[in-house]
Amino acid sequence: MAPSHFTSVLLFALCASVVFGITMRDTPRRMFRYGLYCFALFVGSAIVLSWVMFLIAR
Amino acid sequence: MATPNNRVSPAGRTAAPQNAQGGFVYLPLIAGWLVPGAGHFLQRKWGRGALLAASILAMFILGLAMQGKLYTNAHEILDLLGLVGDLGNGLLYIVSRAVGAGADQVQVTTADYGTRFIVVAGLLNVISAVDAHNLRTGRKPL
């Protein structure tokens, strides 16, 4: 079964955030915080851009 | 000026770079590229390596499960970029090509996402391999 578009966004954001967090910071605490930050930005920007495109298309 | 990591032999040829830990400095970089997380495992960073391997493998497998395409040629510039991204997966890409995994043509919407998942998994794998190399050389603290 293929995942929905939003599930795809969540999976993409999760995997990419884990790698960004580990590779871009030095300590476990800072890795976790940066990973969380990246995840929020990925998902947040996807939601905002989706609404922008929805409003433009109307 | 010759540095310890860039020694020049008396014959004028550059010796293979080594550092205080001994061994080949580029081994974590190459191992990390071929097998996701292997570069960190060589540095005994088990937790980080496992998380990286899980993330990259999950992304690659999800890409294939979404009927994503594996780039096989580079007739156009965009195909070339996709191929470079796919090659970042190392052995995952080579084995997948060998067993014929991945779709030849993108036919459903999620297959387009799957193709991107595979390319991004390769790019993330390159970032993780470079991180392992930085740990090995001491550029990033252990």
Render chain A in DSSP notation, one character per residue.
-PPPHHHHHHHHHHHHHHHHHHHH-SSHHHHHHHHHHHHHHHHHHHHHHHHHHHHHH-
Chain B CB contacts of A15 below 8 Å: 55-56, 58-59, 121, 124
User: Does residue B99 lie within any of the structural domains?
Assistant: yes
**What average pLDDT does this structure show over A30-47?**
97
User: Does residue B87 lie within any of the structural domains?
Assistant: yes
Q: Is the pLDDT reported for residue B7 higher than 50? A: no
A32 to chain B, closest Cα gap in Å: 11
Render B83-123 in DSSP notation, one character per residue.
HHHHHTTTHHHHHHHHHT-SBSS--SHHHHHHHHHHHHHHH
User: Does residue B54 lie within any of the structural domains?
Assistant: yes
Total domain count, chain B: 1
Q: How is residue B14 annotated by DSSP?
A: B
B6 to chain A, closest Cα gap in Å: 25
User: Does residue B127 lie within any of the structural domains?
Assistant: yes
What is the spatial distance between Cα B112 and Cα B129, in angstroms, rounded to a whole number?
26
Question: Is B48–A19 a contact, with Cβ atoms under 8 angstroms apart?
Answer: no
Domain encompassing residue B42: 27-137
User: Does residue B12 lie within any of the structural domains?
Assistant: no
* Total-model pTM: 0.86
- For the stretch B89-129, pLDDT in tens is 999 999 999 998 887 777 787 888 999 999 999 999 999 99
**What average pLDDT does this structure show over B24-47?**
95
**What is the overall mean pLDDT for chain B?**
86
Q: Is the pLDDT reported for residue B18 higher than 80? A: no
Instruction: Please tell me which of the candidates A8, A15, A23 has its beta carbon nearest to residue B113.
Output: A8
User: Does residue B101 lie within any of the structural domains?
Assistant: yes
